[in-house]
Amino acid sequence: MKQPKRAMAPFPSVLLQRLLEEQQQQQPGLLLHLLKLLSIFFLSILFLGRLSRIWSKKTSLPPSPPKFPFIGNLHQLGDLLHHSLRDLSQKYGPIMLLHFGHSPVLVISSAEMAKEVMKNQDTVFRNRPTLTAAQVLFYKCQSIGFAPYGEYWKQVRKICVTDLLGVKRVQSFMFIREEETDFFIKNISESCSQQSPINLSDMLLTLTNDILSRCNLGMRPENIDGNRRIGKLSREVMHLLGAFCFGDLFPCLRWMDVLTGLTRRLKRTSQEVDALLDSIINEHVIKRENQNQNSQDFVDILLHVQKENKLNVDINKDHIKAIMMDVFIGGTDTTATVIEWAMAELVKNPNTMKKVQAEVRQIVGNTMKVKEEDIQQMEYLKCVIKEALRLHPPGPLLVPRESVTSTQIEGYTIPPKTRVYINAWAIHRDPMKWDKAEEFIPERFSESSVDFKGQDFELVPFGSGRRICPGMSFGIAVVELALANLLYWFDWELPNGELKEMLDMSESFGFTANKKIPLHLLPSHYVA
């Protein structure tokens, strides 16, 4: 079995600890001096911590754990940031102020506080912080997801909602979803005949990659570069977005990103992405000139918008590439992750698996074809997807926001330029909102009107307000069709006689919360 890549050490405390251990091994005579320095250091911390608490009370800042000078609260965080923040919030409350190095960070861990940020004060928290990786990889943050609030963002979001990812456009891509899903099912069928387990995690990523490539770029990945390089680049971009960056938290230590290799990786990946997107755009331009007609993929739509120049802002080639990358990155890994977790939970809960399979197979019947219109009748399947999104939101921490001005929440003062992390993972597991919050129970949605579309703040996997994910409808359409096909055509078991209790459900560290151990399953053909 292929071992997953080891996650990057997320915080500098780990690096400092290793450096200290190496120093003690090489020069043990320094130990006494080191102990003296540490004593002075910790006494200083106690004194500064007391001053900090006095200052917080005077200025009515939100509750905050004691912090160290310079590094702030980084020492209190582990590899899985959303887990660490939930643990801290259970002690300090659903609205909590931390410091990640130089940056003040507001952490929101309840539905009520999330509503305050994303609805009641959406105009105050409408901005995005400037992050190094987004600056480099998304053409100075010119994408929909990372662009600062302003006229440019409003115009490109309008394009996205009306022309790229609107309801009619999503419906027009139905034949692509069905063709690629059929191809995906045929590949699994070949494994059935060989009675061999499959790496479902990898196959799902290939499926979503192929669908997004055809919708976004007008062709399958192997027809673009012959070796699926675009899929590899998208995964590298997702990893870099979640990597630790000294410059974002300690501006004076930006040079450390050169030593860790992050700067080099960002530059190399950016150059590769830029060259690939350039070639795709040039190919589309030539095709449009020769054929004198418009196709329906995203690149052609964006080129048409650029040519018509009907917007209040100019759209140049870099803007097009940033939007292309945003759509691709936002819809590939996250969509595959939702299906991956849904299948993992169903394997661990065989009675639920049988119940949803019975519904899918009864509705599809003997037509031997899962159609998207059939899925509208699959109420329990939709409950399964909601429950998977509740327990395993693909982005457990919503893309951070930033306060534009000073404001008040629950009587606490929130300074301007404060980063805001909304811990969707913690909100979705709040025992005050959900009965048996840690268990996979799709039936909880059978008699509930709670949905994930941004109006119910106890379930916000796609966010809410003006910064809600514009690709929600597109992503859900892919998830529903793929999952319905997997459940209709095959029965599923763990390979090598493994018990469901042995299935590892731990998460990996990154921008999205994938399974740490890829999902390997043994499919067998369903016999009616």
Question: Which residues have a Cβ under 8 Å from the Cβ of 257 and sit 6 or more positions away?
Answer: 132, 245, 246, 247, 263
Q: Are strands 103-108 and 419-422 parallel, antiparallel or unpaired?
A: parallel
Residue 96, SS3? Answer: strand
Q: List the beta bridge partners of residue 490.
A: 525
Which tokens is 255 given?
């040079």
**Nearest C-alpha neighbor of 491 from the set 522, 519, 461, 512:** 522
DSSP calls for 252-291: GGTTHHHHHTHHHHHHHHHHHHHHHHHHHHHHHHHHHHHH
**Nearest C-alpha neighbor of 474 from the set 218, 60, 177, 222:** 177
**Nearest C-alpha neighbor of 324 from the set 426, 178, 471:** 471
The annotation status of 245 as a binding-site residue, yes or no, is no
Residue 466, SS3? Answer: helix
- The rounded distance, in Å, linking the Cα atoms of 236 and 259 is 19
How would you class 151 by CB atoms within 10 Å of its CB: exposed for 0-12, middle for 13-18, buried for 19 or more?
A: exposed
Which tokens is 385 given?
């997807």
Q: Which residues are annotated as a binding site?
A: 469
Q: Which residues are annotated as a binding site for heme?
A: 469
